[in-house]
Amino acid sequence: MTGTAATTAAVWAGVMLIGGIGSVLRFLVDRAVARRVARSFPFGTLTVNVSGAALLGFLGGLALSKDAALLAGTAFVGAYTTFSTWMLETQRLGEERQTRSAVANIVVSVVLGIAAALLGQWVAEQL
């Protein structure tokens, strides 16, 4: 393998490994929060997505190389956070006629997610 091909293979392997770690961590955090809160509102997914937004904001505020940004941002944070589960849970709340909870899930997730990303970026810029 040439240097570039070896680097590319290493990055792909890193994406698979780090993405796997991110998805397992998402599962663990979601379950831990859901067990403690035990309500129909999806606090586990909210926690995962807001903390992921903060981490992605932090990573975005750092001067990372292209490969490091891919591994940390796309592989780890992309696997850790979950847009599809957020939407599915919102749709489920709507089906259960919990309209206020469904709207709150959207609004709170977006507002806290943006605030968390900005906070993460600000923290990185202070370093």
**What values do phi and psi take at 65, rounded to 5?**
-70, 165
User: Is residue 81 annotated as involved in ligand binding?
Assistant: yes
What single letter denotes the amino acid at residue 2? T
Provide the 3-class DSSP secondary structure of residue 65: coil
7 is in an annotated binding site: no
Q: Is the pTM of this model over 0.95?
A: no
Please list, in sequence order, all residues whose beta carbon lies within 8 angstroms of the beta carbon of residue 82, skipping any fewer than 6 positions away: 26, 45, 48, 49
Residue 8: predicted pLDDT: 87
Rounded percentage of the chain residues whose pLDDT exceeds 70: 98
The reported pLDDT for the residue numbered 1 is 56
Identify residue 41 by its one-letter amino acid code: F
Q: How many alpha carbons lie under 13 Å from residue 75 in its C-beta half-sphere? A: 18
Instruction: Quote the strand ranges of 1-127, DSSP E.
Output: none
Within 13 Å of residue 50, how many CA atoms lie on the same side as its CB?
A: 18
Average pLDDT, the chain: 94
Domain count, the chain: 1
The tokens 């995962």 sit on which residue?
48
- Distance between the two ends of the chain, CA-based, in angstroms? 38
Query: Domain range spanning residue 74?
Result: 1-126
The pLDDT tens digits for 30-78 are 999 999 997 889 999 999 999 999 999 999 999 899 999 999 999 999 9
